[in-house]
């Protein structure tokens, strides 16, 4: 954990540059000191069927979610969320200046007992660092 998910309207697929966004998100989360690098994942979900507002204009949107494991206090989560939203808004600033674009972001803390994981990437990264 954490997992960053970007759901986006199909009409901005090329302009959104999600690989660059994911690189920025991973850097921000890794540099925060809050999350282990081996648990950070990002993915984009293109939405081909959607409607926004009155449907009369070339609207676009990106809704992003950061799912984090249980155990970090609210102040820590809020600091990370605010920092990450700044990265997001900077990434999309040029595109938003050119077209109608709605950005939204939420952080979700997963339930302590109902979140299951198995990951061998952490150990791999430790060995690579030696």
| 36 a catalytic residue | no
Helix 74-98 to helix 18-31 angle, to the nearest 10 degrees? Answer: 150
Longest alpha-carbon distance in the chain: 57
Catalytic residue among 2, 12, 35, 40: 2
The helix or strand, by DSSP H or E, that contains position 67, with its residue range, turns out to be strand 61-68
Half-sphere exposure of 69 (CA within 13 A, CB side): 13
First-to-last alpha carbon distance for the chain, in angstroms, is 23
Active site residues: 2
């Amino acid at each position: 954990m954490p997992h960053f998910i970007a759901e986006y309207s199909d009409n901005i697929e090329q302009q959104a540059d999600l690989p660059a966004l994911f690189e920025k998100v991973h850097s921000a989360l890794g540099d925060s000191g809050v999350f282990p690098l081996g648990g950070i994942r990002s993915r984009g979900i293109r939405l081909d069927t959607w409607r926004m507002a009155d449907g009369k204009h070339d609207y676009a949107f990106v809704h992003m979610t950061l799912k984090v494991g249980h155990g970090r206090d609210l102040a820590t989560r809020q600091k990370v969320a605010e920092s990450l939203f700044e990265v997001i808004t900077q990434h999309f600033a040029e595109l938003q200046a050119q077209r109608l674009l709605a950005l939204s972001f939420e952080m979700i803390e997963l339930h302590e007992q109902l979140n299951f994981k198995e990951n061998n990437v952490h150990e791999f990264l430790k060995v690579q660092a030696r």
